Structure 1
Amino acid sequence: MNAFSAKFKIYRLYLLSGLLFSACASNAPLGANQNKAVPEQKDKSTINQIAKADIDRMTDVEIRENTQSLRLLMLKLYKRNPQELKKSTSVPAEKMIDWVFDGGAQHHFQFAEMNNLVMTDAIFLTFNPEYKGDRVLAFIVGLHTMLLKAHNDKTDFYFTDSIDPQRVYNVARNIEIAVWKLSNARDENGALYLLSNEINNQEKNLSFEREFGKMIGRTELYAIALAEKSQRLISRVVQNLATALFLPF
């Protein structure tokens, strides 16, 4: 296992422990110092919530928080790679991101400039030396559509829904592989296709790694909780990220 893989494993264990600790800390007395509010569903109507089991509410939170992470990561990638945004539009990055994530009912994540590729095909396109389009768009759309697919292309869940924990677990592993490619894949001139983390004598920016780590931790924890709830086994896969293949989902 290379250093990058080992670092992700350690970070994921730290994150999972942190999530469990946070769950316990949520029972702190009123008046305790709690700066961040617990995420709330927009639709809190009794009729809506009565059709949801606890695991469904957990699914709602997991997909919503991962989507928020992807929005943030897309913005950060555009800030680090402004030439990619110019390939798609002249509007500010925030408007582009709103169009991508809020316009799914219109574009269905089918973009002609990406040959309508989604999921892992879109991620591969990001690192294709012959691709001249917006690599940030391809990377984020690939991750988002992969996440949606594992959740049966839904973002709102009820007790009638059935999600396969293995598919969700595999997505967590695939995010790891995609992030490794983001940090290591280079063009023929030795330059990274997309800039993300920055470590040098003047600057140390690991915010990308931290946000991706949150996504991996959330997705894996949800897959484990879902497996426990449904009494299904998860086949855990250990791969060398440098040579790993994307898992089916």
Structure 2
Amino acid sequence: MFALMIGISGMFHASYNYQDEFYLFDSLDQQKLYNSARNLEIIIWRLSHLKLPSGEPFLLTNGISDDGIFNLSFERLFGKMIAHQDMMARIISDKTNRTINKAFFSLATTALFPI
């Protein structure tokens, strides 16, 4: 599990270009953020469905209590991480879309020079 968490941490750092601080003119790649969210979904699905040879769940947090109640705290926490990555990807893609629209409209509305 430790190696998996190091891998997830490295993937998140790579999606943010290994930066800890961001400034006004810094940019991120929305595809990296989106891919890291999808990778995390795949990891969570695999961990949720992985079973030991005895048939018990690999993760104790995905077990069922004596009352028959599922413990989904693991999936809730990672669901929040996936949602944050998706939100950041959407924000970055909206930012680039606005930049493209602004550049297009500024070119379209400029006066042409006579030849």
TM-score (normalizing by structure 2): 0.72
| Equivalent pair of 2:57/2:63 in contact (CA under 8 Å) | no
Match 1:209 to one of 75, 78, 85: 75
Q: What is the match of residue 59 of structure 2?
A: 194
Q: What is the match of residue 3 of structure 2?
A: 138
Superposed CA RMSD in Å reads 2.0
- For 1:204 and 1:188, locate their aligned partners in 2 and report how far apart those are by CA, in whole Å: 21
Match 2:18 to one of 153, 156, 173: 153
Q: CA deviation at 1:206?
A: 1.4
Q: CA deviation at 1:152?
A: 0.6
Q: CA deviation at 1:188?
A: 4.1
| Equivalent pair of 1:165/1:227 in contact (CA under 8 Å) | yes
Q: CA deviation at 1:155?
A: 1.9
Q: What is the match of residue 33 of structure 2?
A: 168
Q: CA deviation at 1:191?
A: 4.1
Give the gaps of 5 or more residues in structure 1.
1-135, 233-249
Secondary structure of the residue aligned to 2:26 is: coil
Provide the aligned length of Structure 1 versus Structure 2: 97
- For 1:150 and 1:182, locate their aligned partners in 2 and report how far apart those are by CA, in whole Å: 22
Deviant stretches of 4+, over 4 Å: none
| Change in 2 beyond 3 A, CA 1:178/1:220 | same
Secondary structure of the residue aligned to 2:23 is: coil
Give the gaps of 5 or more residues in structure 2.
99-115
- For 1:213 and 1:138, locate their aligned partners in 2 and report how far apart those are by CA, in whole Å: 20
Q: CA deviation at 1:193?
A: 3.5
| Equivalent pair of 1:151/1:168 in contact (CA under 8 Å) | yes
| Equivalent pair of 1:168/1:223 in contact (CA under 8 Å) | yes
Q: CA deviation at 1:184?
A: 1.1
TM-score (normalizing by structure 1): 0.36
Match 2:45 to one of 161, 166, 180: 180
Instruction: Report sequence identity in percent.
Output: 40
User: Where in structure 2 are the equivalents of 1:7-26 lying within 5 Å?
Assistant: none
User: Where in structure 2 are the equivalents of 1:2-41 lying within 5 Å?
Assistant: none
Secondary structure of the residue aligned to 1:214 is: helix
